[in-house]
Amino acid sequence: MYGDDYVGPSVRAQERQQADIAASQGPLLALENVTLSFGGVTALAAVDLTIAPGEIHAVIGPNGAGKSSLINVISGLYRPSSGRVWVDGVSYAGVPAHRAARLGLSRTFQTPALFKGLSVADNIVTGLAYRNRSNFLGQALGLPLSRREQAEARQRGEEVMTLLRLERYANHLTGALPYGLQKRTELARALAPNPKVLLLDEPMAGMTATEKLEMADYVRAARTRYGTTIVLVEHDVGLVMDLSDRIAVLDYGRKIADGTPEEVRNNQAVIDAYLGVPHDNEQGAGI
């Protein structure tokens, strides 16, 4: 059922150990009183959030709860109306995409944002473009700095492709690949710069059940291999409960819960707003 990439109990034990270590450290990522409004619509309302190094922290909630808005604020795509974001001690309200990358942020999108006419390998290498110090002329002339940067980028791309089992597709045009492989390629591109914080906006959206399980294992592998701190927005609650160390729940732009999967699963406010499980007294009444 799981295929060759299934992550077994020993790896999960290692993940639990990493989560315990992370919990003892200060936050790597923090949101402080973040509010985001579009005209008269409030997408986020005074949201506070802290995420420890090496943690997989999911954000869930009903449609329109503000989950993607939260990702867009952290990545700098949206500038909050008020509040600030902290990454490894650096504070910002809005930040250009290239500066976000230099701060150690990387992300994926709900729909893969890939160069469909490039190969998988070339798409992955584009995730390292912001690091290049050589200019266009140096690249055209093949000067030593440019050659060294290209060699380093290829080596890193090959490493990430190996981790995500994409080697066989390295020279395939991305646009010709099945949707699930495109999503995996985008994950590889986001991992290429070895980010401090990886923002995953619905990485399993549109996938089959088997592809979702495989993608969850790749996310685990990224954390296990690189110690990557991961913020995950995802609608598959069962998968989120299994994958995450902690879960924040948004409803109408407000954070209504933040805790371990077990704490969130049993939180009555979350049940009422999102999970839809009957109250104890309703169960007794047979409703």
Length of the chain as a residue count = 287
Look at 24 and 263; give whichever has higher pLDDT.
263
Confidence of residue 16 (pLDDT cuts 50, 70, 90): low
Position of tokens 């979350």? Answer: 270
Q: What is the DSSP letter of 127?
A: G
- Per residue in 212-227, pLDDT tens? 999 999 999 999 999 9
Tokens of 228: 């990557």
Confidence of residue 285 (pLDDT cuts 50, 70, 90): very low
Are 58 and 265 in contact, with CB atoms under 8 Å apart? no
Q: Strands, E, within the chain: which ranges? A: 29-38, 41-51, 56-60, 82-87, 90-92, 105-107, 197-201, 229-233, 246-251, 254-259
Whether residue 287 has pLDDT greater than 80: no
Count of alpha carbons within 13 angstroms of residue 248, beta-carbon side: 24
**pTM score:** 0.80
Closest CA to 186 of 153, 210, 154, 161: 161
* Amino acid at site 41: V
The pLDDT score that the predictor gives to residue 20 is 52
Position of tokens 């940067």? Answer: 149
Tokens of 79: 């500038």
The CATH class of the 28-104+196-276 domain is alpha beta
For the segment 45-64, the average pLDDT, to the nearest whole number, is: 95
Whether residue 282 has pLDDT greater than 50: no
As a whole number of angstroms, the distance between CA 44 and CA 66 comes to 6
Confidence of residue 136 (pLDDT cuts 50, 70, 90): low
Domain map of the chain by residue range?
28-104+196-276, 113-194
* Amino acid at site 139: Q
Confidence of residue 5 (pLDDT cuts 50, 70, 90): very low
Are 7 and 221 in contact, with CB atoms under 8 Å apart? yes
Closest CA to 103 of 80, 130, 124: 130
As a whole number of angstroms, the distance between CA 221 and CA 218 comes to 5
Residue 116 neighbours by CB under 8 Å, 6+ apart: 173, 174, 175
